[in-house]
Amino acid sequence: MATLKEIASRAGVSVYTVSKVLSDQTESARISAARAEAVRRIAQEMNFRPNGVARAMRQGRTLQVGVLVPNNPGNRFAHPLAYETILGINEGLQQAGYLVALARIDDVRRGLEEQSRMFKERVLDGMIVLDSMPADVEQRLEEIIPKCVWCDSNMWREHGCIRRDEEQAGRLAGEAAVSLGYRQIAMVTYSPEYRSHFSASERLAGVRAMVEPLGRPLEILIEPGVADMPRRRQLAEQLHPELIVICHSIYQAQALRSMGEEVEKIAGRDYGLICCDDMHQLDRLWPGLSRVTFDRYGMGLEAARMMLKMIASEKTACVSRRLGGELLLGTTTRARDGSGTGRNGAAAAPAGE
């Protein structure tokens, strides 16, 4: 636990000199090369590592940014998609010298302050909020934390927000369903009371916009609960080759695939399946899934950049952004007779940025 003071006394110089040398300001402080070298050697010998806390205190900034993820009480569910974003955020911040501190909070059962020291004390330069929080929590956050970036959140305004273009995702999936020539189109999503995240309504709206103007009805299917065997089976029995199911999320796509398998139905052969969302490594785990791609890691990286600009007070650089994806047709969809569309014929251009 060496300190500048100890190094200074060993080297026979002042604390000032040590500080300047170790922070590479020898020229501006015009410290002789010989002295600088001696100081560096001693610091090295003493295995010196600066006390980040003292530095933060002096400089009035912590070089720490929080990442807030939501949690349902007592739920151990680890949302793998959130993790992709977190890693992107981490990459962008870590290389800029920032530490990323994680916090996971319950809905509103308890005050923020009781849940994490992040809210009780001042320890952050800013916070990236992932996913949506109840409106009153969002407001409280802005009072407590100096700079907030809203990532994949319901919060949307001119500055400081970044999200996927979810309506585009819905449109791309809906358009593909139509142009592949399926006679019947359904969508699996959450029941209305669980559609609080903006992606639920936007993806649905995007799908509707492509399907309904053509006079095709869109049937809405709700994912049955894990233990609701009768409804799971019933849903699986409905699947047939002229039906394409558009899944809101990859969770629902995976769940539907499993339900289908239980009655020996395979996506692509026995029904069409396309997903509005994407997950990294799907190219390894389920390469055949037709889907609208999205790079969540990249979104995290962008959120980190936005945070850094916000900390640097470059407000104009923090204009909110909406990120696009593109259609990827795999083996879970097939062109139907008379669709006039080849296997990958419905591929659309990536959305603009």
Partner DNA sequence: CTGAAAGCGCTTACAG
Number of residues that bind DNA (CB under 7 A): 29
Q: Using the minimum distance from each CB to DNA, give the nearer residue, 14 or 196.
A: 14
φ, ψ (nearest 5 deg) of residue 96: -95, 10
CA-nearest of 115, 97, 73 to 312 is 97
Distance CA 293, CA 63 (A): 33
Q: Determine, following the binding rule CB under 7 A, whether residue 257 of this chain makes contact with DNA.
A: no
User: For residues 323 and 296, is the Cβ–Cβ distance under 8 A?
Assistant: no
Q: Using the minimum distance from each CB to DNA, give the nearer residue, 15 or 87.
A: 15
Q: Using the minimum distance from each CB to DNA, give the nearer residue, 42 or 303.
A: 42
Distance CA 312, CA 125 (A): 11
Choose the contact partner of 46 out of its own copies, DNA, none; CB within 5 to 8 A by kind: none
Least gap, CB of 250 to its own copies (angstroms): 9
Contact stretch for DNA (CB under 7 A) within 12-20, 82-90, 199-207, 286-294? 12-20
Is residue 118 left, alpha or beta, with left meaning phi > 0 and alpha meaning psi from -120 to 50? alpha
φ, ψ (nearest 5 deg) of residue 219: -85, 135
Q: Determine, following the binding rule CB under 7 A, whether residue 157 of this chain makes contact with DNA.
A: no
Query: Which amino acid is located at 133 in the chain?
Result: M
Q: Which of residues 217-256 bind DNA (CB under 7 A)?
A: none
Q: Which of 30, 109, 157, 284 binds DNA (CB under 7 A)?
A: 30
Distance CA 159, CA 174 (A): 30
User: How far is CA 5 from each of CA 29, 31, 45, 161, 259, rounded to the nearest angstrom?
Assistant: 18, 18, 15, 45, 67
Choose the contact partner of 261 out of its own copies, DNA, none; CB within 5 to 8 A by kind: its own copies
Bridge-partner residues for 160, per DSSP?
none
Choose the contact partner of 35 out of its own copies, DNA, none; CB within 5 to 8 A by kind: DNA
Contact stretch for DNA (CB under 7 A) within 8-16, 130-138, 254-262, 292-300? 8-16
Choose the contact partner of 15 out of its own copies, DNA, none; CB within 5 to 8 A by kind: DNA
Q: Determine, following the binding rule CB under 7 A, whether residue 97 of this chain makes contact with DNA.
A: no
Q: Using the minimum distance from each CB to DNA, give the nearer residue, 48 or 286.
A: 48
Pattern of binders to DNA over 55-94, x per CB under 7 A?
x-xxxx----------------------------------
Contact stretch for DNA (CB under 7 A) within 25-33, 126-134, 146-154, 207-215? 25-33
Residue 120's SS3 state is helix
- Based on the number of CB atoms within 10 Å of its own CB, is 58 exposed (0-12), middle (13-18) or buried (19 or more)? exposed
Q: Using the minimum distance from each CB to DNA, give the nearer residue, 51 or 94.
A: 51
Least gap, CB of 88 to its own copies (angstroms): 8
CA-nearest of 172, 171, 238 to 206 is 171
Report the sign of the C-alpha dihedral through residues 189, 190, 192, 194, in that order: negative
Provide the binding-site residues for its own copies, judged by CB under 8 A.
Answer: 1, 47, 49-57, 62-64, 67, 76-80, 82-84, 86-88, 90-91, 94, 97-104, 115-118, 120-123, 143-144, 226, 251, 254-255, 258, 261-262, 264, 266-267, 269, 280-281, 283-288, 297, 331
What does the chain come to in residues? 353
Distance CA 120, CA 125 (A): 14
Query: Which residues make up the interface to DNA (CB under 7 A)?
Result: 1-5, 12-17, 19-20, 22-23, 29-32, 35, 48, 50-51, 54-55, 57-60
